[in-house]
Amino acid sequence: MTATKTPIVLIHGLWMTPKSWNTWAEYFRARGHEVIVPGWPGIDDREVADIRSNPEPLEGIGLAQIADHYERIIRALPQKPIIMGHSFGGLLTQMLADRGLGVAYVGVTPGQPAGITTLPASTLWTGTPILSNPFAKNGAKPLSKGHFHFTFGNDLDREASDRLWEEFAVNSYNRVFFEGVAGAFNEKGGVSHVDYGRTDRAPLLVITGEIDHVVPPAIGKAIVKKYHATGSPAIVEYREFAGRTHRIVSQDGWEEVAEYALTWATEHAEAAAPAA
């Protein structure tokens, strides 16, 4: 009897919906994995146009609520999954790793947990439309086409980037961005706090893209350095892909990144599995 392959949970990032994972989800399903791609609370399975026309369900929702939402979904699965997250979804992946919910984790251009102060200028610029108005902390600001071009489409001309905006982009969860930035300077009290020194955490891979404006390689390296500095024996590894932007999960050549992530996760999950 053939063993069932480990299920995979994919967590999308800010300004996106589960649709952003269509590439990797189908790729993994074709290799025999059950793939679960839930939306954040307020997004769920709604269409992009519907979210833009009615963003109110996104308002006031923060990182803890989103992490709790995914924890409920994951605990209902018959076995622990591989968990992969993109951007803020990569931060949520690390928060779920801190709760011991997976057998392996992949943060794809992930946001940093609390206590990592590395914030390059391009990263801060991506948050300027939100962070510039603290009175809208609980709002759900639209993402302009121009800002999408900087954050997701910086390898494309404006016309091609605008087409992708039409297909994929939704409003922000403003609170999530405020919490993420605030956590950089409040390791113990930040909502995104994790135990970097946890010894029983399943293997974690951090992936970055060379020309990513949102999560440049400096952030990915700082995340891995923070984990390694604790001396924990838990595996944390890093891989950077040349020429990749923050749209790494759907940018031309995404298959190479998806295959690397899948191979790494399945091999490390098997190696870390209890003998029983």
Give the pTM: 0.95
Could you read off the pLDDT of 163-187 as tens digits, one per residue? 999 999 999 999 999 999 888 888 8
Task: Measure the CA–CA gap between 150 and 245, rounded to whole angstroms.
Answer: 10
- Angle of the 63-75 helix axis to the 174-183 helix axis, nearest 10: 100
pLDDT at 234: 97
Residues of the chain with pLDDT > 90: what percent?
Answer: 86
Task: Specify whether the CB–CB gap between 179 and 190 falls below 8 A.
Answer: yes
pLDDT at 3: 61
pLDDT top residue among 91 and 133: 91
Torsion of Cα atoms, 64 then 52 then 255 then 227, to 10°: -20
Task: Specify whether the CB–CB gap between 15 and 52 falls below 8 A.
Answer: no
What is the mean predicted confidence (pLDDT) over 26-33?
97
Other Cβ atoms within 10 Å of 198 Cβ, number: 15
**Amino acid letter for position 120:** P
**pLDDT at position 2 over 50:** no
Task: Specify whether the CB–CB gap between 96 and 74 falls below 8 A.
Answer: yes
What is the mean predicted confidence (pLDDT) over 217-221?
97
What is the mean predicted confidence (pLDDT) over 117-144?
90
| CATH placement of domain 8-270 | 3.40.50.1820
What is the mean predicted confidence (pLDDT) over 39-61?
97
pLDDT at 1: 36
What is the mean predicted confidence (pLDDT) over 190-210?
97
**pLDDT at position 215 over 70:** yes
**pLDDT at position 272 over 80:** no
Question: pLDDT tier at 4 (50, 70, 90 boundaries)?
Answer: confident
**pLDDT at position 40 over 70:** yes
What is the mean predicted confidence (pLDDT) over 98-110?
98
Strands (E), 40-188: 82-86, 104-108
pLDDT at 273: 59
Question: pLDDT tier at 270 (50, 70, 90 boundaries)?
Answer: confident
3-state secondary structure of 125: helix
**pLDDT at position 276 over 80:** no
